[in-house]
C-alpha cells in the first residue's frame, strides 16, 4: 500500500531500497529555506542496521502488508523464544535478535503476544501495552519530599529500572508501559 512520505509513524514497516525497514523514530522538520520533510530513523528488520532517511510529502513509500496472529509465549531456550498458536497448537521459535533487547525483559510465561509476519516469515512481535511487575528494590521516602510530585528510582523483577511515586515500596506490584518502561499505576490484584 502506497503512503505519503510524511505519513510514516513509529512502528510502521516499509519497503525501501529493496528491503524491509521498521520506523523507529520520526521527526517533522520545517527548515527556514526549502520544503518541510520527515526525518525517519529506520531499522533493517533482517540485519538490524539503522538508517536515517528524509521523506518529503511529495514522495510515496510502500508500506508493507503484515499478517498479525495471536500467539502465547511458552518458554526460552537460551537464544530462542518459543511461542504457540492457540488455535492450531503449532509452535514457532523466534530468535532473540528478532525480538530485540527492549522487548525480551517484558515477556512473561503464558503471555499473549501478536506475531507479525511478512510473506509467511515472522519479522517481530507486538507486546501488550502494559504488564504487571513486582518492585524488588526501591529507595526510601525522604520526609517532606512527598509535597512535590517527585518520583524515585525502583528496580523491577525483570531487571529494568523505572521511576515510581514516593508511596510505592518494595514488594508492590505495578503496571508498567512496555513501550518505554514507565510507571502507569499500582496493580489492582
Which residue segment(s) compose the domain that 56 sits in? 2-63
Question: Is-contact 154 163, C-beta < 8 A?
Answer: yes
> Which residues have CB under 8 Å from 186's CB, separation 6+?
168, 172, 173, 174, 175
Q: What's the average pLDDT block by block, 10 residues per block, for the chain (189 residues)?
A: 85 87 87 87 84 89 88 91 92 84 87 88 86 89 64 90 88 89 88
Its sign, for the CA torsion 33, 34, 38, 44, is negative
pLDDT of the residue at 149: 67
What pLDDT is attached to residue 142?
66
* pLDDT given for residue 117 in this prediction: 87
146 and 175 in one domain?
Answer: yes
Residue 73: its pLDDT value, please? 94
The pairing of strands 80-85 and 91-95 is: antiparallel
Say how many residues make up the chain.
189
Residue with cell 533482517: 46
Rounded-to-10 torsion of CA 28, 32, 35, 40: -30
CATH, residue 114: 2.40.50.140
pTM score, whole prediction: 0.72
Query: Which pLDDT score, from 0 to 100, does residue 9 have?
Result: 85
* Residues 23, 14 contacting (CB under 8 angstroms): yes
Q: What is the predicted pLDDT for the residue at 144?
A: 62
Q: How many domains does the chain have?
A: 3
Q: Residue 150's pLDDT is what? A: 80
The pLDDT of residue 84 is 94
Tell me: do 59 and 6 sit in the same domain.
yes
Q: Within this chain, do residues 122 and 135 fall inside the same structural domain, yes or no?
A: no
100 and 72 in a common domain: yes
Supply the pLDDT for residue 146.
Answer: 54
Amino acid at each position: 500500500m502506497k503512503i505519503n512520505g510524511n505519513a510514516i509513524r513509529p512502528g510502521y514497516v516499509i519497503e525501501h531500497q529493496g528491503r524491509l525497514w521498521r520506523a523507529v523514530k520520526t521527526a517533522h522538520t520545517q527548515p527556514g529555506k526549502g520544503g518541510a520533510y520527515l526525518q525517519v530513523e529506520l531499522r533493517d528488520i533482517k540485519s538490524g542496521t539503522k538508517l536515517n532517511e528524509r521523506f518529503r510529502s511529495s514522495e510515496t513509500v510502500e508500506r508493507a502488508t503484515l499478517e498479525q496472529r495471536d500467539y502465547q509465549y511458552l518458554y526460552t531456550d537460551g537464544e530462542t523464544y518459543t511461542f504457540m498458536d492457540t488455535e492450531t497448537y503449532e509452535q514457532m521459535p523466534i530468535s532473540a535478535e528478532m525480538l530485540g533487547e527492549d522487548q525480551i525483559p517484558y515477556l512473561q510465561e503464558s503471555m499473549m503476544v501478536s506475531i507479525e509476519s511478512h510473506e509467511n516469515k515472522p519479522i517481530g512481535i507486538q507486546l501488550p501495552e502494559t504488564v504487571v511487575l513486582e518492585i524488588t528494590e526501591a529507595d526510601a521516602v525522604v520526609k517532606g519530599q512527598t509535597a512535590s510530585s517527585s518520583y524515585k528510582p525502583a528496580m523491577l523483577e525483570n531487571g529494568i529500572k523505572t521511576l515510581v511515586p514516593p508511596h510505592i515500596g518494595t514488594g508492590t506490584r505495578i503496571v508498567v508501559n512496555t513501550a518505554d518502561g514507565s510507571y502507569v499505576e499500582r496493580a489492582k490484584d
